[in-house]
Amino acid sequence: MNPSNFLYIKAIRRQPLERTPIWMMRQAGRYLPEYRALRAKHDFLTMCKTPELAAEVTLQPIRRFGLDAAILFSDILVIPEAMGQTLTFREKEGPRLEAPLRSEADLQNLTLNGLEEKLNYVARAVRLIRSELNGRTPLIGFSGSPFTLATYMVEGKPSKNFRFIKELVFRQPQFLKTVLSILSEAVVRYLQMQIDAGAQAIQIFDTWGGILPPHLFMEFSGKWMSQIVEKLKPGGVPVTLFSKGGIAPFRLLLDSGADVLGVDWMTDIKEAKELARGAVALQGNLDPTALYGSPEIIKEEVRTILETFAGQSGHVFNLGHGILPDIPLDNVYYLVEQVREISSRLQLK
């Protein structure tokens, strides 16, 4: 299919649509039995690094639900790993980066040299997925934002209070900006590699930008994402920025140059739409825990979101955060069906 005919791309370009496209953050993941079956045989990082496995996992939710976009199966922490930090995933503990980045001296152990070669397995996965999708579904590539990558690299392991990254914000802001500048270069090179390999859209996940007070958000997170959008523009693929943290980061990203802004479930999507004034497409924002709910309430929540955009293109349906591992599959089928059914009556022009 000509990429410009994909529902996902048409929604981003705010062109007339027969219905609202839907994909789900973390759609290639543990809530799927076929994912768990594969994962039982391979560890998580091996799955990220083996193009055939990454491609298989990327395709699983497309086969099952016929979603309107595929998103590369990978992990945002492959960048810090390629830069020299040892990455491990422990059961029930989340990711760990050894030798956390806390000072100028620690920077000596990290390098951008050969980044594309080290991450070539991602480019291979992208090519393989594109070939298997065979033009039926668009493929989204992704990266973490510089601030989000820095947070993981500085904390080293899952953190409650973000003590170390916040200490840099409030004690060594110049050093942190040096780090963010290096990571911005890494992200641009990584995303360009994905685009060159065939990614037809990009999403930048800013999972931790929202831990910044709003008056510091642009300085430490938003500005760097905006620069990345600018540098990727010649690539011509649409870019989505998704900062978790409610309406404050959303509002600050309106002028970022992004084609799409992700809307988390802590944000009122009606307010987001009013603020966007049709100048940027929106993606979101069903509370991921609503999928624990009853069909009646899921339907009501879906309808509320979709009807916000009645009569108007520019909306990609998604969750307000990643799908949770213990969501009942029946509810996912029901969600996809309801999004299609309800939105097909909304005359999206």
Please, what's the b/e burial string for 106-133 (b: 16 or more CB within 10 A of its CB; e: otherwise)? Answer: bbeebebeebeebbeebbbbbebbbebb
Build a one-symbol-per-residue string for 184-223: x at contacts with its own copies by CB under 8 A, - elsewhere.
Answer: --------------------------x--xxx--------
Residues that are catalytic? 26, 30, 39, 75, 152
Secondary structure of 252-265 as H, E, C letters? HCCCCCCCEEEECC
Please work out the total of residues on this chain that contact its own copies, with binding judged by CB under 8 A: 36
Distance (Å, rounded) from C-alpha 119 to C-alpha 278?
37
Build a one-symbol-per-residue string for 282-321: x at contacts with its own copies by CB under 8 A, - elsewhere.
Answer: -----xxxx-xxx--xx--x--x---------------x-
Residue whose C-alpha is closest to residue 151's, from 205, 116, 101: 101
Contact between 53 and 46 under an 8 Å Cβ cutoff? The reply is: yes
Build a one-symbol-per-residue string for 265-284: x at contacts with its own copies by CB under 8 A, - elsewhere.
Answer: xxxx--x-------------
91 binds its own copies (CB under 8 A): no
Residue with tokens 């802004």: 261
Whether omega for the bond prior to residue 285 falls within 30 degrees of 0, making it cis, is yes
Pick from 12, 77, 79, 169: which binds its own copies (CB under 8 A)?
A: 169
If the CB atoms of residues 4 and 161 are measured against its own copies, the closer one turns out to be: 161
Pick from 124, 246, 273, 341: which binds its own copies (CB under 8 A)?
A: 246
Among residue numbers 317 through 336, which ones bind its own copies (CB under 8 A)? 320, 324, 326
Contact between 77 and 122 under an 8 Å Cβ cutoff? The reply is: no
Shortest spacing between CB 148 and its own copies, in angstroms:
16
Tally of CB atoms within 10 A around 273: 17
Shortest spacing between CB 269 and its own copies, in angstroms:
9
238 binds its own copies (CB under 8 A): no
162 binds its own copies (CB under 8 A): yes
Residue with tokens 């990290």: 110
DSSP element (H, E) containing 201: strand 201-206
Give contact residues for its own copies (rule: CB under 8 A).
161-163, 166-167, 169-171, 173, 210, 213-215, 245-248, 265-268, 271, 287-290, 292-294, 297-298, 301, 304, 320, 324, 326
